[in-house]
Amino acid sequence: MTKIGHGLPPILRSATADLLTKYGPLLFDWAARHGSPLNLVWPDALRENLAALKGVLTERRVEHAIYYGAKANKSPGLMQAALSAGAGLDVSSLYELRDARRLGADGARLVATGPAKTSAFHQALINCNALISVDSPEELEDLIHGLPADAGQQPILLRLRPRDQSKSRFGMPPDAIVHCLVRLAGEGRLRFDGLHFHLSGYRRETRVAALSEAADLIAEARRMGFFPGMIDIGGGLPIQYVDRARYDAHLAAQAPEDYRTGKIPDSFYPYGSTLSAADWLHRLLEAEMNQGRSVAGYLAREGLTLAMEPGRALADQAAITVFRISRVKALGPDSHVIFAASAPAKLGSPPNS
């Protein structure tokens, strides 16, 4: 019997496909020499993905700041590729920040958008004057208390929780954003640079709605005497993992007995996206906001920079992990468990990329 999922191969760039189909013995040799799992990276693929996004933004004359979401793949090779191609880095931990600094990134190339930041992480971000997205009024107070008395202006964004994300744990509703702005009016050591949001899902419509909410708050902040110059839409750009038609056929062929629970899940990750990240971004910039304005037109007229932190969309096709199979256990006539080896590299061999 042909099992579900058969005939659903991943989309692979030619270099990766050639390695897997024509040079398989190399993988066995490398795994023997360097250990399993073995991480292989193609920094040029990340640079190509970045160039595609920058091309869309430049074509629409949108000022932009792209930060590679390093948590998607922390390979120093990919982080360095992002920096060398003109992107910044979104660091989500003290350790990622340290890696970025070792690669030569200064604070102007760094942003920290994650909601969970320790006091040590805050302090390290302050020390290099990196851009910090503040998730809550409580985080704002923690940040203020950690600032030196003679600190220069620390750039921050305030993270918005849009109305249709009311169940999210992250970000602040509009009234809390205004509360933070009132607090900032009396704090000269912080500089309000703009707003940030990060939404679940991949629908452009939710991004446009969130941008409209952010536009209202940007206008309110300017009335209060601030000079915000950025809206950060986070990450969540789609990736084409598999062919769309094959993915639709895969979903249609499912049956309850394919799952141990005896139930087909209610929803699935959109592995078979119809759009590339660049196509998706182009359509977002063309989408209408309030009063018939396009997103690109609004940003240009208001003099705003569009920031984003794509992670997987930049790392797409840029890395694979090779595992040596140590054992295959039969669970039934057509069901097996595969055990992958986790062995250190031999002494004297170079580390994984």
For residue 351, is pLDDT > 50? no
For the chain, which domains are there? 1-40+327-353 (no CATH), 43-240+275-316 (3.20.20.10), 241-272 (no CATH)
Residue 280 CA to residue 316 CA, distance in Å, equals: 15
Residue with tokens 């141990």: 260
Amino acid at 12: L
pLDDT(127) > 90: yes
Query: For 17-46, how does the pLDDT look when each residue is reduced to its tens digit (9 = 90+)?
Result: 999 999 989 999 999 899 999 999 999 999
Q: Which residues neighbour 59 within 8 Å (Cβ) at sequence distance 6 or greater?
A: none
Does residue 156 sit in helix, strand or coil? strand
Name the residue among 24, 41, 36 with its Cα closest to residue 353.
41
* CA pair distance 244, 227, nearest whole angstrom: 44
Residue recorded with tokens 């948590």:
71
pLDDT at 342: 73
Inter-helix orientation angle 204-223/277-286, to 10°: 50
The CA distance from 188 to 312, in Å, is 37
Helical (H) or strand (E) element with 76: helix 76-84
The SS3 assignment for 311 reads coil
How far are the Cα atoms of 110, 116, 244 from residue 75, in angstroms, in the given order? 16, 22, 29
- Mean pLDDT (the chain, rounded): 92
Question: What confidence tens digit (pLDDT) does each residue in 314-334 have?
Answer: 999 999 999 988 888 888 787
Q: 């099992």: which residue's tokens?
A: 3
In this structure, how many other beta carbons lie within 10 angstroms of the beta carbon of residue 291?
7
Q: Taking residues 99-107, what's their average pLDDT?
A: 97
Per-residue confidence band for 290, with pLDDT thresholds at 50, 70 and 90? confident
Are β-strands 319-322 and 38-41 bridged in parallel, bridged antiparallel, or unpaired? antiparallel
Pull the structure tokens for residue 164: 């249709």
Interval 144-172: pLDDT, tens: 999 998 888 999 999 999 998 888 899 99
Q: Is the pLDDT of residue 4 over 90?
A: no
| Amino acid 46: pLDDT | 98
Q: How confident is the model at residue 6 (pLDDT cuts 50, 70, 90)?
A: low
In degrees, rounded to 5, the angle at the alpha carbon of residue 245 between the alpha carbons of residues 239 and 248 is 85
Distance CA 330, CA 268 (A): 27
Give me 62's structure tokens: 């949108």
* Tokens describing residue 271: 């592995």
Q: What is the DSSP letter of 344?
A: P
Number of helical (H) and strand (E) elements in the chain, helices listed first: 13, 12
Q: How far is CA 118 from CA 124, 145, 208, 235, in A?
A: 10, 13, 32, 22
pLDDT at 353: 41
Q: What are the tens digits of pLDDT across the range 50-86?
A: 999 999 999 999 999 999 999 999 999 999 999 999 9
According to DSSP, the residues that pair with 160 across neighbouring strands are 172
Query: Which of 324, 350, 315, 323 is CA-nearest to residue 77?
Result: 315
Q: Which two tokens stand for residue 151?
A: 């600190």
> How confident is the model at residue 346, as a pLDDT?
43
